[in-house]
Amino acid sequence: MPIRPATTDAIADAAAALREGRLVAFPTETVYGLGADATNARAVAAIFEAKGRPRFNPLIAHVADAEDAARFAVMEPAARALAEAFWPGALTLVLKKQPDCPIADLATAGLDTVALRVPSHPIARALIRAAGRPIAAPSANRSGHVSPTTAAHVEADLGDKVVMILDDGPCAIGVESTVVDVSGPEPMLLRAGGVTRAAIEAVLRAPLAAHLDDNDRPVSPGQLASHYAPRATVRLDAATARPGEAFLAFGPNATKSDGPMINLSPSGDLIEAAANLFAALRALDASGTTTIAVMPIPETGLGEAINDRLRRAAVR
Ligand code: TXA
Ligand code: MG
């Protein structure tokens, strides 16, 4: 029975489960979140697996307060002003990562930026504090379904994927947080949400550049120029690496290579492969190679999202 009233005991159990790398659903003031330890790449991979997401969108890391946020990301003056005005609350800030930021590459989809939010919901805040680490959490629904605003919604979608659903009744706001990118020269609205554009512009004392489509939806992060792409050319469906190529392998049948080589999962486990994907691309890219040869990866489970990312890295 995964639904538990959010008592002190239940929060302590949920925090322990998060530290062990398990998934826990929890209430926030916007929608229920599907939480994992943001510093644990395998736990973050399990989020994508549970949601059945065909893509690795970067996730929001939920932190306890603005001081914690500053440990993980650079808080420029505009970010500080928005944090001061709207945290804790329904605002997510996209910020430049600190060099030693422990948040997993998979949680940020390999970007140099990270989305942080300090939720105001007392249960969410207690859980973050008890876990003692940032919690990555998208809305706790299966991909393509509407966001959940009650524990029962979460159970219907993900009851078999989480160790616990902390129940504290319906969410007060009911739509996701507003996402503002403050990592560049001018703040940009990436997603409309719980905090209005007008309220944000009043604090910034300037109009907010927007990155929304015609229906006020965010432009897919895959289309954002900032989306991580390796510098090297990516060659897909490679059985082996050619001389001079770096090799991104998968599974037990990988042939050895003379150049730099990383096997995403020697046992052929797609969750492990997803957890390693962005860090592996970065490492092979950093080797200075001109081409990264990539072994075929099955198009099942998380393989779909892995292949989506690799295909987009290859078409540039
Ligand atoms: O209200 C909410 O925000 C809920 C609750 C659970 O907190 N969470 C949520 O998370 O909606 P998620 O992961 O579904 O939404 C994350 C949004 C997406 O639009 C994503 O593209 C954007 O934030 N995002 C995350 N990291 C980003 C980054 N580094 N650069 C640009 N956009 C980013
Ligand atoms: Mg969602």
Task: Establish if 130 belongs to a structural domain.
Answer: yes
Q: Is 190 in the pocket of ligand 1 (CB under 6 A)?
A: yes
The pLDDT assigned to 222 comes to: 46
Task: Establish if 223 belongs to a structural domain.
Answer: no
The pLDDT assigned to 209 comes to: 87
| Local structure of 20: helix, strand or coil | coil
Distance between Cα 183 and ligand 1 center (Å): 15
Task: Establish if 256 belongs to a structural domain.
Answer: yes
Compute the CA torsion angle 119, 121, 125, 128 (nearest 10 deg).
Answer: -70
Residues 43 and 163: their CA atoms lie apart, in Å, by 13
Query: Which ligand 1 atom sits closest to the C-alpha of 109?
Result: 29
Which of 48, 59, 162 gets mutated to test ligand 1 (max ligand atoms within 8 A of its CB)?
59
Query: Which ligand 1 atom sits closest to the C-alpha of 220?
Result: 21
Q: Is 176 in the pocket of ligand 1 (CB under 6 A)?
A: yes
Task: Establish if 226 belongs to a structural domain.
Answer: no
Q: Is 59 in the pocket of ligand 1 (CB under 6 A)?
A: yes
Structure tokens at 227: 């989306």
Distance between Cα 261 and ligand 1 center (Å): 32
One domain for residues 183 and 285: no
Task: Establish if 216 belongs to a structural domain.
Answer: no
The pLDDT assigned to 282 comes to: 87
Domain termination residue (choose one: 204, 221, 254):
204
For the domain that residue 35 is a member of, what is the CATH number?
3.90.870.10
One domain for residues 152 and 15: yes
Kindly give the parts of the chain with pLDDT less than 70.
Answer: 1, 212-228, 316
Distance between Cα 177 and ligand 2 center (Å): 10
Task: Establish if 170 belongs to a structural domain.
Answer: yes
Buried b (16+ CB within 10 A) or exposed e, 142-171: eeeeebbbbbebbbebbeebbebbbbbeeb
**Closest protein CA for atom 24 of ligand 1:** 58
Domain that holds residue 310: 233-314
Give me the number of domains the chain comprises.
2
